[in-house]
């Protein structure tokens, strides 16, 4: 059987949760619309799909409360590992359920089972299982979470880092990150109404960005800055990625159907 091109999509916490709020709440209406667009794009069976979703308040709030990103320093944090993980499982359950409602053969994929970090970076993941799942047509749905870390006890695996790692290891053909903004701007578009979108970025052109940072709500993984760092690392390995808006109807479907450049493209220097 000929292997289909692999597409990795990250549904950002900013696109599928009420991220500005500290209560864990799914943005069900937007999640449903995105699931509908994915389902339409999958018709025709032209590509394999791996979905990663972010955390929004489901992960960032408990992770911050228990300071999980600075590693395991005291026994009280252990209950926070359990709490953060369960909260992420709840979001994952909602995402997988919504995708299946639209006929997508989604399957939950817990990153904490086979994934191990070393100083915050993935060094091991259940790649063999994923490859088999993709081969039979399943759509694995994984997420950012708190994971065991060989140096720090535990630390946070961001959805963005997971995307970078999987795209590299599985040699993805397309990498699409869906956020609450239509790409990377020269400054935070939520704070500066004159901010201008940058349609293509590579290491040579990052000087075009005057300000890049975190999101309005809690984001322990660096917001847009953390995302760009991961995507530049991916570009170094010659894998291009795109950031698009999760709030403009049709953008995800068009991108999945092959259109390029709807948002910001991050690529290797030419």
Q: Select from ligand ADP, Mg ion, none the partner in contact with residue 108, using the beta carbon and a kind-dependent cut-off of 5 to 8 Å.
A: none
111 binds ligand ADP (CB under 6 A): no
Pick from 13, 24, 80, 140: which binds ligand ADP (CB under 6 A)?
13
Residues at the interface with Mg ion (CB under 5 A): 219
Query: Closest distance between ligand ADP and the C-beta of residue 215, in Å?
Result: 3
Q: Residue 82 contacts by C-beta under 8 Å, 6 or more apart in sequence?
A: none
Q: Chain centroid to CA 78: how far? A: 25
Among 149, 219, 230, 242, binds ligand ADP (CB under 6 A): 219
| Apex 95 CA angle, 256 and 103, nearest 5 | 60
Asked if 187 interacts with ligand ADP (CB under 6 A), we say yes
CA–CA distance, 17 with 57 (Å, rounded to integer): 7
- Which one of ligand ADP, Mg ion, none is in contact with 85 (Cβ closer than 5 to 8 A by kind)? none
180 is in the binding site of which of Mg ion, ligand ADP, none (Cβ under 5 to 8 A by kind)?
ligand ADP
DSSP strand pairing (145-149 vs 174-179): unpaired
Tokens found for residue 176: 């699409």
Instruction: Give the number of other CB atoms < 10 A from CB of residue 247.
Output: 17
Residue 24 interacts with ligand ADP (CB under 6 A): yes or no: no
41 binding ligand ADP? (CB under 6 A) = no
């Amino acid at each position: 059987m000929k292997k289909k091109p692999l597409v990795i999509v990250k549904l950002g916490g900013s696109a599928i949760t009420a991220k500005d709020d500290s209560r864990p709440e799914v943005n069900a209406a937007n999640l449903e619309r995105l699931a509908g667009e994915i389902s339409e794009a999958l018709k025709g069976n032209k590509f394999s799909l791996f979905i990663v979703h972010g955390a929004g308040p489901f992960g960032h709030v408990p992770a911050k409360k228990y300071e999980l990103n600075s590693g395991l320093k005291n026994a009280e944090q252990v209950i926070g590992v359990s709490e953060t993980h369960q909260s992420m499982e709840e979001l994952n359950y909602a995402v997988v359920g919504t995708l299946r409602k639209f006929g997508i053969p989604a399957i939950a994929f817990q990153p904490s089972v086979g994934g191990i970090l070393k100083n915050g970076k993935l060094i091991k993941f259940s790649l063999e299982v994923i490859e088999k799942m993709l081969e039979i047509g399943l759509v694995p749905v994984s997420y950012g979470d708190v994971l065991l870390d060989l140096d720090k006890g535990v630390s946070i695996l961001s959805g963005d880092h997971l995307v970078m790692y999987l795209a590299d290891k599985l040699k993805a053909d397309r990498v699409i990150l869906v956020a609450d903004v239509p790409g990377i701007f020269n400054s935070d578009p939520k704070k500066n109404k004159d901010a201008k979108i940058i349609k293509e970025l590579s290491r040579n052109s990052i000087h075009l960005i005057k300000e890049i940072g975190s999101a309005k709500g809690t984001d322990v993984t660096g917001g847009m800055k953390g995302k760009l760092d991961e995507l530049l690392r991916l570009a170094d390995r010659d894998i291009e990625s795109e950031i698009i808006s999760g709030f403009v109807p049709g953008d995800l479907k068009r991108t999945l159907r092959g259109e390029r450049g709807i948002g910001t493209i991050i690529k290797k220097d030419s």
